[in-house]
Structures are given as structure tokens and as C-alpha cells.
Amino acid sequence: MTIGKLKLTTLAAVVAAFGAGEAMATTWNVSVWGKRRAFTEHIHKLGDLVAEKTNGEFTFNISYGGLSNEKENLDGISIGAFEMAQFCAGYHPDKNPTLTVLELPFLGVNTLEEEVAVSNAVYGHPATVKDLERWNAKLLMTSPMPQYNVAGVGKAPETLDDYSGMRIRATGGIGEAFRTIGATPTSVTSAEAYTAMESGVVDSVAFAQHAHFSFRTIDIAKWWTANLNPGTVNCPVVVNIDAYNALSDDERKALDESVDEAIAYYIENYGKLLDKWETTLKEKDVQKIVYTPEQIAAFEDKAAGGVREKWIADMSGQGIPAEELIQTVKDALKQARGGS
């Protein structure tokens, strides 16, 4: 045997021996953004559960902005740049049109549990599965959020007319809803929201409570709409299909069977945050605006029908079963409330 062949044979033996000891270890890179917060706690819990169930042989490396930004996470999944990612449908509705049904205004979802139910139903619809497969993505779980409300500076919008001319950070269907009452929505990212409001680029920001905390908009807000509740955004956690299929049976089982427990942990944790929110409003002397049922009904009357009809027309024009997806939401909501 020549020296060259001997070296190659020895190297191969070393690699094989090393590989034999490491073959079972799997680490997934997970792309999220911002900082660790209530919105990402289910991902951390999922990682803990998976590691525990596989004796540390399957772990997550969760990166906050180090792998990609939020608007490019789906692209990163599509090329296998990382194995798992979180994103929000409203950041790029053209890339995930089926998911935008969950961002339509005034769907009637009242609790985080109901948000999970309707999300799971839409995620499981064949049209949605096919939609995300274009990006080599498998929907794993949602990131349930309460109804969005608005924190802002300047004149408090005590009537719907006060929104006329207001520049508001609001994405997806929520943004379109505010457009119907004269506001001008903009889709700056969550990370840019504080600077946008501080500098006057926007007058207000529509977020769920955790995001007002995390991105510090509550630190400069003068008022808060307590019960406008126009809708929410849908932010799924997806995995790369090839990476998912490459898991061992035990790893895949550990992942799949940990989702419900991770979501339950998320909901419990979010409840604690809502308690903290009320305390913070008082401490910062933020004006709390409570609208009358008549005002909310007037907003819904303007926003819900027109935005929904336009969405149905746009989606149907793309060959997407829009009416069927809306019915899926209604059926899931009814079932979640004990209906049949």
C-alpha cells in the first residue's frame, strides 16, 4: 500500500470512528428575531422537551437574528439555510396567501385557545399544506397571540373619526381594516416600530401586548386602545421538509408529540404577561381608551365585509379555495366552543 493510500485509509477510519460516536446527535438551527419573549417561549419549551425525550441527542440552536431577518426566514427555510424558523404571514402575504385568512379582521376569535384551534385547522387544510410546500416548509405550530390593539402618541383616538390621517404600523388584514376608517397603515417590522414611532414616521403601532413590551413601544406611548380588537397576525413555526424527513423515527416522534405541551406552556406564560400589562399601564400613566359596543360595531361594519370580500376575490383569482378556508375557520371556532 502506498503512503498516500495509507493516509487516506487511516483518515477514513478516523472519520468513521468519529462518525459512529456522533451519528445519533442532531442539532437544528432555529431562526427567530428580536429577543427572547413570550412570543418565542414555546420554541424554547419545545427544544427543552425534545432534548429531554431524546437524552440530549436532538437539540435546538435558537438564534435571534443571527441566521436571518424575520422577512427572509421563509426563504431561508426553502433553501435549507436552517431547519426551523418563525415568521408572520403579514410580512409577505404573496409568499403564503392561504395563511392570510387568519389575519382577516373581526374573525371573532376571543382567546388564545381559540386562536390555536383555528390556526391548526387552517394549517391542516390541503391548500395550505401545498402553499407552504412551495417553500419546502412544513407547518409545525402556531404562535397564538391575543387581538391586537394600538399604542400611540399625540391625540388619543377616542372616536373612529380620530383615526383619519393617522399613520399606523399595522400589517395584513389589520392594516386594511384601519384603512377603511381613514388611517394610513405601514408595515415596518416589529424591530423598527419603536424608532418609527419615536421619530414620527408613524403615530401609533398595532401590536399584541408582548410586542409592545419587547419592542418598547409602551415606553413612549401616551394612550392604548383596550378593546378595539380588530384582529391579530398569524406567526407560524415551520420546519424544512427535508430536515424533518431526515430525522430518525424517535426524533420525529419526540418533536411531534411535544408540540401540544409547548403550546400549553406558551398560553400559561402569556397569561402572566397580560397581568403585568395592566400594572404597566397604570405605572406609566397611559390613557386607556375603551370604545362603546356601538363604536366597535361601526368599525366592524366598515372593515370586516369589504376587506373579506376583497380577500375572497383576490384569493379565488389565484386558484385558492378562499370560501373554503373561511369556512374552515368558522367550523374550527364553533368546535372549539363546544359546537358540532
CATH of the domain at 178: 3.40.190.170
Of the two residues 3 and 87, the one the predictor is more confident about is 87
Q: Are residues 153 and 134 in the same domain?
A: no
**Alpha carbons 300 and 150: distance in angstroms, whole number:** 16
The residue segments making up the domain with residue 244 are: 25-143+233-273
Q: Are residues 300 and 189 in the same domain?
A: yes
Instruction: Name the DSSP letter for residue 148.
Output: P
**Alpha carbons 298 and 292: distance in angstroms, whole number:** 10
Instruction: Look at the block and give the residue holding cell 429577543.
Output: 35
- Please state, as a whole number, how many other Cβ atoms lie within 10 Å of the Cβ of residue 184: 16
Q: Are residues 162 and 78 in the same domain?
A: no
Query: What is the mean predicted confidence (pLDDT) over 109-135?
Result: 97
Any domain includes 300: yes
Of the two residues 13 and 98, the one the predictor is more confident about is 98
pTM of the model: 0.84
**Per-residue pLDDT band at 23 (split at 50, 70, 90):** low
% of residues, the chain, pLDDT over 90 = 84
Domain count, the chain: 2
The secondary element (H helix, E strand) that includes residue 25 is: none
Any domain includes 280: no
**Per-residue pLDDT band at 18 (split at 50, 70, 90):** very low
Q: Are residues 294 and 175 in the same domain?
A: yes
Query: What is the mean predicted confidence (pLDDT) over 249-271?
Result: 97
Q: Are residues 170 and 191 in the same domain?
A: yes
Q: Are residues 220 and 241 in the same domain?
A: no
Specify the long-range contacts of residues 310-315, CB closer than 8 Å, at least 24 apart.
Answer: 310/176, 311/100, 311/101, 311/104, 311/173, 315/97, 315/98, 315/100, 315/101
Any domain includes 279: no
Whether residue 9 is predicted with pLDDT greater than 60 in this model: the reply is no
| Range in 6-20, 124-138, 162-176, 262-276 the model is least confident about | 6-20
pLDDT in the model for residue 340 = 58
Q: Are residues 46 and 137 in the same domain?
A: yes
Sign, Cα dihedral of 111, 114, 116, 119? negative
Whether residue 26 is predicted with pLDDT greater than 50 in this model: the reply is yes
Q: Which of 105-109, 143-147, 197-201 has the highest mean pLDDT?
A: 197-201
